[in-house]
Amino acid sequence: MTIYIGLDVHSKWTYYAAQSSSGALIGSGRVPTSRQGLLGLLESLAAEPGTAAALESGTQAFWASRLLVEAGMEPLVVSAREVRAKARRRAQKSDSRDAFELCDGLRRGIWCSIVHVPCARVQRLRRVLSRRRFFVRECVRNANAARYLLRGAGLRGEPAGALSGRPGWRRLLCRQDIGPLREHLLLHARAWLLSRRNVERLEAELSAALEPFAREAELLQTVPGVGPITAASFIAAIARPDRFADAGRVASYLGLVPSSYDSGGRRRHGHITRSGPAAVRAVLCEAAHQAARAAHPLNPYWRRICSRGGYRKAVVAVAQRLARILWALWRRGEPFDVGRLNVELHPHAVRRTYIYRLKRPA
């Protein structure tokens, strides 16, 4: 008998619901969120290999889906946003009701926002990048806290970027004017040093996690302005280039396309959707700042957007173009070729003539 299973996985308990192909409820309840609990549930339901199971995206959804794959099931991770939007009783939410909605939606085939479950290698790469971002933020927080203490005491702050390295912290602690702030600044210096050591350790681990994707990372780094972190973040987010039919879908997945409203004869576009992984958008925007340099191949494109919409809009537009280029290089397996861009090498100087100027003091 063909059955369908819906699982709402939480830290302690997993709520489940099972239906037959006709929609009859076979079973419902909860089991402990553990390997023994989930495998025992499959055994009690007499689930045959190949049984479909729907899970709501969350912290433990990937772990549970991998466990179901090992047991021979076919898990389907559904976006939590779609589960909430298609719920029959939005004002009466419960875990058991969510499990039933997942099961019934799987049986009727209504789920569209399916979350990709990456392989173990991509999952490891994502985990290392996530921990590195965490400790980088801790370094920035401690540097900003030290500047806050200095400003609050009316003292001269350190130059921008001075507290991003060990010499800057040593100079700060050796200053004679910090007085009673020295002990508190020392606490932040120790916290910064510990976080910085963790970042260095994770960067070494990142090199090992990136070894299975060494060819892809080397290929993506042929694009000017794209470094190891940007390449690793893009690989971790996309996982496989064949997941997307074209470059436009990649940009949409990363949330770099403008939102749109087209109804009643009115059409307008707004800010970017920001629907995808924020970390990848951030590193792509950091790489896009390099296009402001005259020697960058995307500088003509950046100048055109910047003159019409400003610097920030140009950065986002170049970030979208970079996402499209990186996906195309990965799919074709070819290094970056400036000849494929709609640009040509033509060094020139632009001179402008101004008609008016401010009056000079006598």
Question: What pTM was computed for the model?
Answer: 0.90
* pLDDT on residue 329: 97
* pLDDT on residue 160: 81
The answer to whether residue 230 is domain-embedded is yes
Residue type at 190? R
pLDDT above 70 as % of the chain: 100
CA distance 106 to 96: 15
360 pLDDT tier (thresholds 50, 70, 90): confident
* pLDDT on residue 338: 93
352 pLDDT tier (thresholds 50, 70, 90): confident
**Are residue 178 and residue 239 in the same domain, yes or no?**
no
The answer to whether residue 317 is domain-embedded is yes
The answer to whether residue 253 is domain-embedded is yes
What are the φ/ψ torsions at residue 254 (nearest 5 degrees)?
A: -85, 0
355 pLDDT tier (thresholds 50, 70, 90): confident
pLDDT above 90 for 158: no
**Average pLDDT estimate for 10-24:** 95
**Are residue 103 and residue 167 in the same domain, yes or no?**
no
Last residue within a domain, chosen from 187, 209, 231: 209
**Are residue 288 and residue 315 in the same domain, yes or no?**
yes
What are the φ/ψ torsions at residue 34 (nearest 5 degrees)?
A: -155, 170
CA nearest neighbour of 16 among 35, 34, 1, 31? 31
**Are residue 14 and residue 56 in the same domain, yes or no?**
yes
* pLDDT on residue 19: 96
CATH number at residue 55: 3.30.420.40
* pLDDT on residue 9: 95
Cα 64 from chain centroid?
21
Q: What is the pLDDT of residues 49-77, one digit of tens each?
A: 999 999 999 989 999 999 999 999 999 99
* pLDDT on residue 350: 78
CA distance 80 to 86: 10
**Are residue 324 and residue 274 in the same domain, yes or no?**
yes
The answer to whether residue 93 is domain-embedded is yes
pLDDT above 90 as % of the chain: 85
**Average pLDDT estimate for 297-305:** 93
269 pLDDT tier (thresholds 50, 70, 90): confident
Interior CA angle at 91 toward 88 and 94, to 5°?
A: 80
- Count of domains in the chain? 3
**Are residue 95 and residue 145 in the same domain, yes or no?**
no
Last residue within a domain, chosen from 152, 183, 209: 209
pLDDT above 90 for 311: yes
pLDDT above 80 for 1: no
The answer to whether residue 346 is domain-embedded is no
**Are residue 322 and residue 229 in the same domain, yes or no?**
yes
**Are residue 126 and residue 192 in the same domain, yes or no?**
yes
Q: What is the pLDDT of residues 180-239, one digit of tens each?
A: 999 999 999 999 999 999 999 999 999 999 999 999 999 999 999 999 999 999 999 999
**Average pLDDT estimate for 83-96:** 90
The answer to whether residue 94 is domain-embedded is yes
**Are residue 129 and residue 93 in the same domain, yes or no?**
no
* pLDDT on residue 161: 87
Domain that holds residue 71: 3-108
**Average pLDDT estimate for 271-299:** 94
**Are residue 98 and residue 146 in the same domain, yes or no?**
no
**Are residue 285 and residue 239 in the same domain, yes or no?**
yes
* pLDDT on residue 345: 86
* pLDDT on residue 323: 97
User: Which pair of tokens denotes residue 246?
Assistant: 């074209």
**Average pLDDT estimate for 124-146:** 97
* pLDDT on residue 124: 96
The answer to whether residue 132 is domain-embedded is yes
pLDDT above 80 for 312: yes
**Are residue 162 and residue 239 in the same domain, yes or no?**
no
Distances (CA, A) of 135 to 10, 108, 120, 130, 161: 27, 44, 23, 9, 17
The answer to whether residue 330 is domain-embedded is yes
